[in-house]
Amino acid sequence: MANQFQLFKRRRFSAMFFTQFLGAFNDNIFKQALILVLTYTAASQLGMEVSILNNLAAMLFILPYFLFSALAGQIADKFEKSKLTQFIKVLELVIMAVAAVGFVFEWYALLFVALFLMGTHSTFFGPIKYAYLPQAMKEDELVGANGLFQMGTSLAILVGMIVAGILTQLSQSLYWISATVLIVAILGYLAARYIPTMPAMQPDLKINWNIITTSVSTVRYLYSLPFLFFVILGNSWFWFYGATFLTQVPEFSKVILHGDESVVIFLLTLFSVGVSIGSLLCKSLTKNQVSLRLLPFGIAGLSLFAIDLYFSLSGLNIDVNNEALLGISDLFGTSGSWRVFADLFFLGFSGGLYIVPLYASMQAYAPKSHRARIVGANNIFNAIFMVTSAIFAIVILNSLGLTLPQLFLVTGLLNIAFGTFLYFKLNKHIKQAVIQTHDEVSS
């Protein structure tokens, strides 16, 4: 297929793409709107520190990934995926109705409940969408489909955050936020109704509802498949790496670049567009093949541009004592700023080259009967690595007293060590994974 965008003409792709895009979009409208409300309104009303409320919000959203990912994987393997997706989208609509009540009446406890439930909704949807792709796509479509999914997710996160920022500036903003999340949830359900039926991969599976033993057995099973285990470690490292950088963007926009809110959005846009372009190029660069040949380039770029970001930020000469914050146009005229912009764009670009081959490999080499449970294990590790990234940043910035540019430098250097380790481990175990997959197809 000459152009991966031709996949949008296929209902088997476009219906799931827009379902997941609208889900990620709604997640980020709701999360960002809640963070802004907590920052500018709730903290003073409740007499609590903004950082405590925001960290509580982040924890509540990610907690379900620890608790329910293994269970979600079992359910996605056992049941037919289109009906399961529609059911989950109905739940999203109910959750957003709860959130709307919380916003309108400013019941913050109810909003935290809704946030936890949205995290749960995302936890159960994740294994479905990533196990769906290899089932619905032809072999030569899988890399292109993953590139489009990664592009869609990056843009949904970015646009969701921007929309949340716009909505909170409107008069009667809480009503606007409530109406928007409800409308997007309805659109997501309508998109899900067009997903074609996909047979259950293991309909006779007996679900273990004990979330502790299920999680342990899922991780143990993953560990028995060395190639997939290291693929998932690589996936999770990307979330650690991305969270480490993106969490600091607002602070280094204000403290180092002395920029206003528009600069934050611009920098996030650069990174997201970089990820999108890198993800889309994977199809043509690998000639439609599930391959790790781009991984070294992704690893090298993630380190090179992180290290260069340290030097470009350290070399800036911006008067931070000036009370007026700089806009994007002001920064364009500042010496050295273009190098910072280029570093962020190419960090995202390298991330796209890095993550798409790993996601495609996870789907292609996971045993069909356990594919969704492998994705569930992936989500458990992603959550662990994202929490670890927050602890890592706190230790570097607060305990060790290093600067933000130094944090980026340390992360880039760590990426060299981890990336080298990962690449050698994947090369060591890939032959065994190919043989197992061939045996599964033959049988």
Number of H-type helices and E-type strands within the chain: 15, 0
Q: What is the pLDDT of residues 411-439, one digit of tens each?
A: 999 999 999 999 999 998 888 777 776 55
> What's the average model confidence in pLDDT over 275-279?
91
| Per-residue pLDDT tens over the stretch 327-384 | 888 888 787 889 999 999 999 999 999 999 998 888 888 888 888 889 889 989 998 9
Cβ atoms < 10 Å from Cβ of 310: 21
Q: What is the pLDDT of residues 64-101, one digit of tens each?
A: 988 899 999 999 989 999 999 999 999 999 999 999 99
- Which DSSP string corresponds to 322-343? SSSPB-HHHHHTSTTHHHHHHH
Residues 6+ apart with CB under 8 A from 47: none
158-163 average pLDDT score = 89
From residue 317, how far is each of 254, 311, 335 by CA, in Å?
14, 12, 7
User: With contact defined as beta carbons under 8 Å apart, do 82 and 196 qualify?
Assistant: yes
In sign, the C-alpha dihedral spanning 88, 93, 96, 98 is negative
Lowest mean pLDDT across 5-14, 33-42, 227-236, 310-319: 33-42
Which one of 3.40.50.150, 1.10.1660.10, 2.40.110.10, 1.20.1250.20 gives the CATH number of domain 221-443? 1.20.1250.20
Asked whether the beta carbons of 365 and 228 are under 8 A apart, the reply is: yes
Q: Which tokens go with 140?
A: 């030569």
Cα–Cα distance measured from residue 264 to residue 381, given in angstroms and rounded to the nearest whole number: 28
In DSSP terms, 326 is beta-bridged to: 259
Domain with CATH 1.20.1250.20 in the chain: 1-198, 221-443
Q: Distance (Å, rounded) from C-alpha 345 to C-alpha 269?
A: 9
In the prediction, which pLDDT does 247 show?
Answer: 78
pTM metric for this prediction: 0.82
Number of Cβ within 10 Å of residue 381's Cβ equals 22
Structure tokens at 125: 């949807």
pLDDT of residue 8 exceeding 50: yes
Beta-bridge partner residues of 259: 326
pLDDT-derived band at 1 (thresholds 50, 70, 90) equals: very low
Helix (H, G, I), strand (E, B) or coil at 294: coil
CATH superfamily of 1-198: MFS general substrate transporter like domains (1.20.1250.20)
**Contact yes or no for 153/27 (Cβ under 8 A):** no
